[in-house]
């Protein structure tokens, strides 16, 4: 099992993110990702939030070995062609360490406040499927790509330079059993979901496995990952996740080391390939400047089976 850190971007600064990212790498975590939100996602009215494309690129410049992702870019926020260009450039900057996460989006407030259409669920799923098709085509070849869909189109678009990775991993995020999981089974290299209990992970993975079989693939071809919380106290849990604290508790490393290790093992038994520990800016400590829980992260790393990071060959170019 791999272990990563998933960073929320409200009420933080690039300098703080840089410090945390470099500590994450020094502690030998496998992965750093950020989310794609215009505002806080914890149910509050917080508006201070850094932008995802910029910050994923920034992470590529301040780290050397750790893999860098976004979980997940919202298909309705940016044209697929321009995001593909950004991702290809990021992969060049990072030396082949980028993973692209894509999702349909859910936050109506963010769509409406930035003048973006918030489509019905079925249409957002259709939009996501077109998005994946366009991005995959552009990131897989420097040949011109012409695409005509209901939501997106390109006219002989070219993405050059190409990514360092000959098949840059695309993950699909979400838990929908009718559209999202079958889409991940057909089109994605990975699947991600936030704050699912081990039992729910096992259920969703079973649906994904059936969809993979139907698509002529093996479940081992799709990296299964889940984002979980980390809280050493009730105050920390509420401070990070606000009104969502009770919802997230079931998928949070909480308590003593034995309790945390037990939860990790339950995720392993559920078939999870990668656990991403979600860190949020801590509202309770903003006045003190304590934005991320460095001490808690170090305590966690002390008992996780983290292996020394060595630069992996770019995916698709090995051997």
- pLDDT tens string 262-315: 999 999 999 999 999 998 655 434 434 444 556 777 888 888 878 755 545 444
Measured in whole angstroms, the distance separating CA 185 from the mean position of its chain's CA atoms is: 17
| Gap between the Cα atoms of 43 and 71, Å rounded | 18
| Gap between the Cα atoms of 290 and 67, Å rounded | 25
For the chain, residues with pLDDT lower than 50 are: 43, 283-291, 311, 313-319
What are the start-end ranges of the H helices in 108-256? 108-113, 121-140, 180-187, 198-214, 234-241, 245-249
For domain 2-176+226-252+275-303, which architecture applies? Alpha-Beta Barrel (3.20)
Residue 60 in tokens: 């590529």
pLDDT for 42: 54
Whole-number Cα distances in Å, 95 to 23, 55, 136: 20, 17, 19
Residues linked to residue 145 through DSSP beta bridges, in sequence order: 157
pLDDT for 129: 98
**Residue 158, burial from CB neighbour count under 10 angstroms (0-12, 13-18, 19+):** middle
The number of beta carbons lying within 10 Å of the beta carbon of residue 174 is 24
The pTM is what?
0.91
pLDDT for 239: 75
């Amino acid at each position: 099992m791999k272990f990563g850190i998933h960073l929320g971007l409200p009420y933080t600064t690039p300098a703080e993110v840089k410090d945390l990212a470099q500590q994450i790498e020094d502690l030998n975590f496998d992965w750093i990702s950020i989310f794609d939100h215009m505002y806080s996602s914890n149910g509050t009215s917080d508006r201070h939030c850094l932008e995802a494309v910029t910050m994923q690129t920034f992470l590529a410049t301040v780290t050397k070995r750790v893999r860098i992702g976004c979980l997940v870019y919202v298909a309705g926020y940016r044209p697929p062609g321009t995001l593909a260009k950004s991702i290809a450039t990021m992969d060049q900057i990072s030396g082949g360490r980028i993973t692209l996460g894509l999702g349909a989006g859910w936050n109506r407030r963010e769509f409406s406040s930035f003048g973006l259409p918030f489509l019905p669920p079925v249409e957002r799923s259709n939009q996501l499927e077109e998005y994946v098709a366009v991005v995959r085509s552009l990131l897989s070849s420097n040949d011109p790509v012409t695409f005509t869909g209901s939501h997106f189109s390109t006219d002989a678009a070219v993405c050059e330079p190409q990514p360092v990775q000959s098949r840059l991993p695309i993950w699909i995020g979400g838990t929908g059993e009718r559209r999202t999981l079958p889409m991940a089974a057909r089109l994605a290299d990975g699947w991600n979901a936030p704050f699912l209990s081990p039992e729910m992970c096992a259920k969703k993975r079973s649906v994904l496995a059936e969809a993979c079989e139907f698509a002529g693939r093996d479940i081992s071809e799709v990296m299964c990952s889940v984002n979980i919380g980390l809280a050493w106290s009730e105050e920390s849990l509420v401070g990070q996740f606000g009104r969502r604290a009770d919802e997230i508790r079931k998928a949070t490393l909480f308590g003593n080391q034995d309790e945390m290790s037990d939860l990790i093992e339950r995720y392993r038994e559920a078939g999870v390939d990668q656990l991403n520990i979600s860190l949020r800016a801590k509202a309770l400590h903003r006045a003190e400047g304590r934005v991320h829980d460095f001490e808690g992260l170090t305590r966690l790393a002390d008992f996780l089976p983290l292996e020394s990071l060595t630069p992996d060959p770019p995916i698709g170019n090995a051997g």
